[in-house]
């Protein structure tokens, strides 16, 4: 029985979140936790998709792509199937199993990682040999179903791995030195709303544009400097820039007691740097820790965080295997 498995990494915004809304650059990196999608043949005329971690399940008629059965949030995968059908004219029946090392709604790009892995696995199962650019494009269509107007950062990073610079709608893959230190994602457990956080910051900008303009320009300079630090694998400088970037995010009102606690616990326990990642007003922080100090930082944060993930930069991006 033919079995195809594909996987794609998660992502984190390392520098520049919020400031991209006004055209400033941001840097995102792929992280080692992955979503895995396994596709195997199914004898009856159904396309069955099951997520082992969430319990979500959806069943399609492969001929019409109508939903026969659904529980949970997997409907965006139909968009991918429609894109593949336009290339191949038919969709083959299959059993699809999803397993994930990436938590949902943690700001780590889980929906994009799923879209990329699913596109890569199912297209190969159908006999298509898609380029990475085409895999990313199709995954982006599914991301529109989930997020409305996504930036494209998440699916790009999940597809290509490594680090990218995002600026005014365009992407530049960065040449990064061999960073062997670790990132720790620590979740406050406080629910976040990206929309509310973005609107809050924009309101503040409208009230104090002359002041906030300097904050946004500083954020841009941090990203430019961080790019050079990444290229040289200078994690000391990266950590210092993370700390400065956090100060700007706090200044624009997206921090809070729980986030500040995790940021400063990480620093006190030896992290090279720590900051909010994502929208803020809840959610997670990211800490950069040396190989020698990572376990101490992790164990200390475990007393305060609801959930922790230790990760390294993923250099590979999407991966497909036939078993």
Tokens encoding 190: 């406080």
Please give the distance of CA 291 from its chain centroid, rounded to a whole number. Answer: 23
| Neighbouring residues of 158: CB distance < 8 A, sequence distance ≥ 6 | 8, 9, 10, 11, 30, 109, 112, 113, 115, 116, 117, 136, 139, 317, 318
DSSP state of 64: T
**Cβ–Cβ < 8 Å for 45, 62:** yes
Q: Catalytic annotation on 181?
A: no
Rounded CA separation 180/160 (Å): 19
Question: 193-228 burial, b if ≥16 CB within 10 A, otherwise e?
Answer: ebeebbebbeebbeeeeeebeebbebbbebbebbbe
For β-strands 26-41 and 3-15, DSSP reports them as antiparallel
Q: How far apart are CA 248 and CA 166, in angstroms?
A: 19
**Count of residues in the chain:** 323
Please state whether beta strands 182-187 and 67-71 pair in parallel, antiparallel, or not at all (unpaired): unpaired
Q: Is the distance from CB of 283 to CB of 290 less than 8 angstroms?
A: no
Query: Of the listed 154, 181, 187, 314, which one is catalytic?
Result: 154
| Tokens linked to 117 | 């892995």
Residues tagged active-site: 154
């Amino acid at each position: 029985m033919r079995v195809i498995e594909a996987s794609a990494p998660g992502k984190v915004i390392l520098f520049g979140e919020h400031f991209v809304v006004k055209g400033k650059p941001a840097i995102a990196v792929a992280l080692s936790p992955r979503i895995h999608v396994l596709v195997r043949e199914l004898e009856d005329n159904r396309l069955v998709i099951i997520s082992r971690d969430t319990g979500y399940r959806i069943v399609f008629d492969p001929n019409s792509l109508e939903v026969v059965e659904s529980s949970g949030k997997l409907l965006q995968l139909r968009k991918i199937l429609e894109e593949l059908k336009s290339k191949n004219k038919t969709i083959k029946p299959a059993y699809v199993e999803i397993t994930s090392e990436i938590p949902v709604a943690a700001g780590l790009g889980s929906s994009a990682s799923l879209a990329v892995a699913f596109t890569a696995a199912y297209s190969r199962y159908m006999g298509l040999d898609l380029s990475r650019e085409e895999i990313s494009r199709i995954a982006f269509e599914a991301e529109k179903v989930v997020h409305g107007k996504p930036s494209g950062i998440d699916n790009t990073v999940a597809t290509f791995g490594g680090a990218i610079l995002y600026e005014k709608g365009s992407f530049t893959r960065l040449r990064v030195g061999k960073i062997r230190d670790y990132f720790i994602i620590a979740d406050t457990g406080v629910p976040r709303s990206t929309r509310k956080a973005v609107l809050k910051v924009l309101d503040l900008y409208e009230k104090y544009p002359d002041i906030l303009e300097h904050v946004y320009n500083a954020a841009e300079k941090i990203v430019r400097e961080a790019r050079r630090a990444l290229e040289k694998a200078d994690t000391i400088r990266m950590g210092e820039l993370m700390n400065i970037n956090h100060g700007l995010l706090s200044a624009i009102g997206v921090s809070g007691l729980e986030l500040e606690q995790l940021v400063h616990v990480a620093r006190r326990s030896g992290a090279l740097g720590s900051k909010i990642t994502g929208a803020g007003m809840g959610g997670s922080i990211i800490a950069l820790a040396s190989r020698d100090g990572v376990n101490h930082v992790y164990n200390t944060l475990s007393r305060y965080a609801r959930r922790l993930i230790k990760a390294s930069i993923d250099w590979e991006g999407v991966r497909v295997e036939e078993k």
